[in-house]
Structure 1
Amino acid sequence: MSHILYEVADKIATITLNRPEVANAQNAELLDQLDAAWTKAADDDEVAVIVLRGEGRHFSSGHDLKSGEKHQGKITLEQIYRAESRRYLEYSLRWRNIPKPSIAAVQGRCIAGGLLLVWPCDLIVASEDALFSDPVVTMGIGGVEYHGHTWELGPRKAKEILFTGRPLTAAEAEKTGMVNKVVPRDELDGSVRELAAHIAGMPPFALRQAKRAVNQTLDVQGFYAAIQSVFDTHQTGHGHALSVGGWPVLVKLDEMKTKVQ
């Protein structure tokens, strides 16, 4: 599993994104390996808490846009829909509903597809230099595939971040409730480990019940239906981009992500 590191110690499974040379950009292999790691942790009775982190300067620069360049001019909307429904929607929803507490440790940039990795986690701890952004409107699409924006940020802040493409600082994210705690960069791993160890000492069945209670309440409020419906709206953006200019990636966003790396 070259793109993902996995270890278990003291009832804590640590899953690490391991493509630091490209700011942990997510290609198909990384996402498939990541899903396998989540499943392994979920099935292991010795694991009480799951921690997700990224190796290197940045948590994740999002989807690896360069990995799709070979399909330019040949890809269809049906192919995009099939691939994204599996890796960008099904995976994220599955990670959200794994009946064990999960914590994301975020440093540096967390761009677009990076949000699809942290939003399914139950808790998020960020370093002071963390920046969260979804500049996908630059691509002619209304936002990433897993639309947690409104739920995580509230409607007005969600619109601001989508309309402008600007990054949300760790401090701003904490104010909205998206981030639980902000710590200095050199304390990130230690703080997350301490939090995970505390949670791991709680009764596992009670933790499972507590997580289900919160997730089910969000679903009753419309979370699951909204995520499914906005995913289809996202796909109309791809369809429009294909009809106007071919491969649905604009140079502006690609150049921005290259600078981050």
Structure 2
Amino acid sequence: MTDTNNNNQDVVLYEVRDDIAIVTMNRPEYNNAQNSQMTYALDAVFLRASDDDSVKVIVLAGAGKHFSAGHDIGTLGRDVDKTFDRASLWYDHVNKPGSEFLYTREQEVYLGMCRRWRDIPKPTIAMVQGACVAGGVMLAWVCDLIIATDDSFYSDPVVRMGIPGVEYFAHVHELNPRIAKEFLFLGERMPAERAFQMGMLNKVVTRETLEEETMAVASRIARMPRLGLQLTKQVINSAEDLMGKRTTMNMAFGYHHFAHSHNELVSGDRLAGFDGKKMADSQRGQEKEKASVEGQS
């Protein structure tokens, strides 16, 4: 799908090398912030890779310095008010009143799509560098494996908006509950080393070797029988759901939208006045304050 706001650039790139499909988010000028255009383009290429019998493994990447800065809450290409051909049975959110607007949209483009991508019947690998923030964390968590650079970092800072985490709420399954609370309460960057220690990452490598290492793992997986991979993935995903993953997401999604509605009633803005720049500035200020305090101790 093409971004008409940026010289007709394709917002998602797709290529197949041997039996590996590489899906690349391609808004590097916005640190791969995900607008609806990108989200629907991702959905289309994931379907394409799933339908292609020659593809055994799917790799998700982000062009440029960062994997993804999260959902688009302030670029020139923000398209929250636009209609797209929907991928589920949810009706169009555009022109819906009150909380119905955002609740309906996010059922489709965030929670619904991420759950469907998690269940792609082929192994998926997130190839992560730099920032993996909020909606970026969602995309990485959807994948079966995460291979990341040693300078990558992870955060879900939306609690400062008064919102209890992103829509695809997998925090207590990706991290243990106490670490999940720390991750959300502070909203600070979790470096790759700690994310690896917590079991969130499979492998930490250098930027120079990220693609080589990821493709090597994908190639080894691709030698396994397709049905065996599909059934193994289905078993593990089903076990996670039996442990409450899907139920937790349903509950958290309701709280998430209560927070949006509260923000709009109190401040007149669903995001409590934050856009991408204000959120980034707030994050930088917090990191600077933390470094200052640690330097004094």
Equivalenced residues, count? 258
Decide which moves more: 218-227 or 141-150: 218-227
**Residues 1:6 and 2:32 aligned together:** no
Partner of 1:20: 28
| Shift of residue 152, structure 1, vs aligned partner | 0.1
- Aligned residues: percent identity? 45
What TM-score, normalized by structure 1, do the two folds share? 0.94
Whether 1:58 and 2:66 are equivalent positions in the alignment is: yes
Aligned position for 1:32: 40
Where structure 2 has 5 or more consecutive residues not aligned to the other structure, the ranges are 2-9, 83-95, 284-297
Q: Is the 8 A contact 1:61 1:257 kept in 2?
A: no
Residue among 272, 280, 283 paired with 1:257: 280
Q: Any idea what SS the aligned residue of 1:119 has?
A: helix
1:228: Cα distance to partner?
1.5
Query: Partner of 1:115 in structure 2?
Result: 137
Task: Please say if 1:47 is aligned against 2:21.
Answer: no
Structure 1 unmatched ranges of 5 or more: none
Task: Name segments (4+ residues, structure 1) moved above 4 Å.
Answer: 68-71
3-state SS in 1 of match to 2:41: helix
Displacement of 1:79: 0.3
Which structure shows the bigger proportion of residues in helix conformation? 1
Structure 2 contact 72–276 (Cα < 8 Å) conserved: no
Separation of aligned partners in 2, 1:32 and 1:258:
29
Aligned equivalents of 1:100 and 1:252: distance in 2?
Answer: 35
1:39 CA drift (Å): 0.8
Which amino acid is the alignment partner of residue 50 of structure 2? A
Secondary structure, aligned partner of 1:228: helix
> Which secondary structure does the structure 1 equivalent of 2:269 belong to?
coil
Q: 2:111 aligns with which of 55, 68, 89?
A: 89
State the one-letter code of the partner of 1:251: F
Larger radius of gyration: 2
| 1:100 is the counterpart of 2:108 | no
Q: 1:258 to 1:27 in 2, by over 3 A?
A: farther
- Residues 202-221 of structure 1, C-alpha deviation per residue, up to 9 Å, x if partnerless? 11111111111111111111
Equivalent of residue 236 in structure 2, options 205, 214, 225:
214
2:53 aligns to what SS in structure 1?
Answer: coil
Aligned pairs for 1:50-199 (under 5 A) are 50-66=58-74, 67=78, 76-199=98-221
For 2:279 and 2:246, how far apart are their aligned partners in 1? Answer: 32
TM-score after normalising by structure 2? 0.83
8 Å Cα contact 2:37-2:79 kept in structure 1: no
Amino acid at match of 2:11: H
After superposition, the CA RMSD in angstroms is: 1.9
Aligned equivalents of 1:135 and 1:81: distance in 2? 20
Kept in 2: contact 1:8–1:14 (CA 8 A): yes
